[in-house]
């Protein structure tokens, strides 16, 4: 559905705003990158969600 919307929007931009097809392709690529960025960052850096843990530590006075 995202790609269909991008294709239809790209054609509409080309017709109504007289935008070149190359600029439309760049804008579409940026949209896809920003949509996929969280998953890409997690996969590339293998970030794990921090586990919620309760840690009780003693200070100097205890």
Query: Are 41 and 47 in contact, with CB atoms under 8 Å apart?
Result: yes
Q: How far apart are CA 13 and CA 16, in angstroms?
A: 5
The per-residue pLDDT of the chain, averaged, comes to 80
This prediction's pTM: 0.55
Instruction: Give me the pLDDT at residue 49, please.
Output: 61
Whether residue 51 has pLDDT greater than 60: yes
Half-sphere exposure for 5 (CA within 13 Å, toward CB): 4
Quick one: pLDDT band at residue 40, thresholds 50, 70, 90? confident
Instruction: Give me the pLDDT at residue 61, please.
Output: 59
Q: Which segments of 1-62 are extended strands (E)?
A: none
């Amino acid at each position: 559905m995202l790609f269909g919307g991008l294709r239809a929007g790209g054609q509409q931009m080309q017709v109504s705003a007289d935008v070149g097809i190359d600029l439309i392709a760049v804008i579409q690529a940026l949209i896809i990158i920003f949509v996929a960025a969280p998953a890409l960052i997690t996969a590339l850096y293998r970030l794990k969600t921090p586990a919620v843990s309760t840690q009780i530590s003693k200070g100097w006075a205890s």
